[in-house]
C-alpha cells in the first residue's frame, strides 16, 4: 500500500510530489498521457518568480520533475482509468495496473478548448495563445484578436489592452454570454472592437508567426480577413476529471468542488486547474499543489 498517489505531472502535481517526497512519504506520480500539462505547450514563462530572464515551460517541468525524483518520487506512465474506494483507502486503476494508496492528490489540470483548425496547431504558441496574462506582454504595441464571448474573453480582452494597440473580439453570436458588468467595461473601451456573428475559419501566417485570421460571417456566409499579430482563444476550458465522475463532488462543468484542496472524500485532495477555473496560473497551481501535499501529510498523520 502506497502512502500517496498524485495523479497528474503538471506543475501542481510535481510541486505536491516535491513536498511529499521531502517528507519521506515516497509519493507515486501517475504522469498521464499529456505529461507535464499545459506548461508543455507554452514557450517563455516570464511571470513565475525567480526567473528574471524567463524560463521555457517544458524546461520548468523537466526541472520540477528532476527535483521530485531527487527526493524519491516514483513515476508511473499513462493515464488513470478509474479510482475506487476500498474501505478508507483508494484503488487507482492505471494503464500499468492497480495501485492501492492511503491518500490521493488529483492534479489532472484542464485543457483550453480550441477551434480544431489545422492552422491553429501550426501557429500554436507562435501567435495562437490561450492565456493573456501569460502572453500579452509579447504583443506590446501590436494588434490582437480574441475569440469568445464569455467572462474570460472579456477579462482577457481588457488585459490585452494594456499591451496591444487594438483588440478585436470575434464572437459567433450577436450577444455576449459574459456578465453585464464585464460586457459594459469591454464595450466602453476605445481600444476594443467587436466582430459579431463570426467564426475563425483559418489562422493565417508567414510560416513563422501569425499575420491574420480569415473569418466567416455566420449570417451571410461572407468571408473576410483581419490582420493581426495574435489570436487569443478564450472559448472555455475542460477540466480533466471525467475518470472521477460519480466519485467526487464536481460542478456542472466538471471542476472538482473542494474546501481549499480538501474534496468531499476524506484522503482525496485536489490541486491546480482541475479545481481552479479562476486564476489558472503556473504559480497558483504550484501553490495549491503545495497545499494539497501538506493537507495529505496531515491526513496521513491522522490530524
Strands 89-94 and 2-7: unpaired
For 66, 82, 254, 255, the CA distances from 245, given in Å and listed in that order, are 32, 9, 8, 11
CB of 282 to ligand NAP, least distance (A): 18
Query: Which of 94, 119, 152, 281 is close enough to bind ligand NAP by CB under 6 A?
Result: 152
Can residue 148 be called a binding residue for ligand NAP (CB under 6 A)?
yes
Neighbour-count burial for 15-27, b at 16+ CB within 10 Å, e otherwise? bbbbbbbebebeb
Among 173, 219, 242, 249, binds ligand NAP (CB under 6 A): 173
User: Using CB under 6 A, which of 34, 166, 172, 262 touches ligand NAP?
Assistant: 172
- CB-wise, 65 or 280, nearer to ligand NAP? 280
By CB under 6 A, the residues from 189 to 218 that bind ligand NAP are none
Among 64, 83, 99, 147, binds ligand NAP (CB under 6 A): 147
Which helix H or strand E contains 205, and what residues bound it?
strand 198-205
Active centre residues (catalytic):
131, 134-135
**Could you tell me the smallest distance in angstroms from the CB atom of residue 20 to ligand NAP?**
30
Pick from 35, 111, 151, 201 the residue near ligand NAP by CB under 6 A: 151
* Least distance to ligand NAP, CB of residue 30, Å: 27
Rounded Cα gap, residues 233 and 140, in angstroms = 18
| Contacts of range 136-139, beta carbons closer than 8 Å, 24 or more positions apart | 136/160, 136/162, 136/163, 136/164, 137/46, 137/163, 138/230, 139/163, 139/164, 139/229, 139/230
Rounded to a whole number of angstroms, the minimum distance from the CB of residue 169 to ligand NAP is 10
| Pattern 108-137, ligand NAP, x by CB under 6 A | -----x-x----------------------
Burial annotation 158-169 (CB, 10 A radius, 16+ → b, else e): bbbbebbebbbb
Residue 235 as a binder of ligand NAP (CB under 6 A): the answer is yes
Contact positions toward ligand NAP, by CB under 6 A?
Answer: 113, 115, 147-153, 155, 172-173, 177, 235-236, 277
Amino acid at each position: 500500500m502506497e502512502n500517496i498517489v498524485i495523479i497528474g505531472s503538471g506543475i501542481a502535481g510535481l510541486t505536491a510530489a516535491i513536498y511529499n517526497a521531502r517528507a519521506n512519504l515516497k509519493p507515486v506520480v501517475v504522469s498521464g498521457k499529456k505529461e507535464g500539462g499545459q506548461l508543455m505547450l507554452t514557450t517563455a514563462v516570464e511571470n513565475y518568480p525567480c526567473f528574471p530572464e524567463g524560463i521555457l515551460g517544458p524546461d520548468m517541468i523537466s526541472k520540477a520533475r528532476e527535483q521530485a525524483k531527487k527526493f524519491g518520487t516514483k513515476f508511473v506512465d499513462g493515464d488513470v482509468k478509474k479510482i475506487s474506494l476500498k474501505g478508507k483507502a483508494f484503488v487507482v486503476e492505471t494503464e500499468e495496473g492497480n495501485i492501492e494508496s492511503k491518500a490521493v492528490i488529483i492534479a489532472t489540470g484542464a485543457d483550453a478548448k480550441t477551434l480544431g483548425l489545422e492552422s491553429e496547431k501550426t501557429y500554436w504558441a507562435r501567435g495562437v495563445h490561450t492565456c493573456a496574462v501569460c502572453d500579452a506582454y509579447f504583443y506590446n504595441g501590436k494588434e490582437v484578436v480574441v475569440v469568445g464571448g464569455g467572462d474570460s474573453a472579456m477579462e482577457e480582452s481588457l488585459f490585452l489592452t494594456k499591451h496591444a494597440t487594438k483588440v478585436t473580439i470575434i464572437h459567433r453570436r450577436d450577444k455576449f454570454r459574459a456578465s453585464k458588468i464585464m460586457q459594459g467595461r469591454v464595450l466602453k473601451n476605445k481600444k476594443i472592437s467587436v466582430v459579431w456573428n463570426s467564426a475563425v475559419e483559418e489562422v493565417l501566417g508567414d510560416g513563422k508567426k501569425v499575420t491574420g485570421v480569415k473569418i466567416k460571417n455566420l449570417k451571410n456566409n461572407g468571408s473576410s480577413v483581419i490582420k493581426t499579430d495574435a489570436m487569443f482563444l478564450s472559448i472555455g476550458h475542460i477540466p480533466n476529471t471525467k475518470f472521477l465522475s460519480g466519485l467526487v463532488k464536481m460542478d456542472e462543468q466538471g471542476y472538482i468542488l473542494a474546501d481549499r484542496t480538501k474534496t468531499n472524500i476524506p484522503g482525496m485532495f485536489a490541486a491546480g486547474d482541475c479545481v481552479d477555473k479562476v486564476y489558472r496560473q503556473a504559480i497558483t497551481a504550484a501553490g495549491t499543489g503545495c497545499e494539497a501535499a501538506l493537507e495529505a501529510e496531515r491526513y496521513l498523520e491522522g490530524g
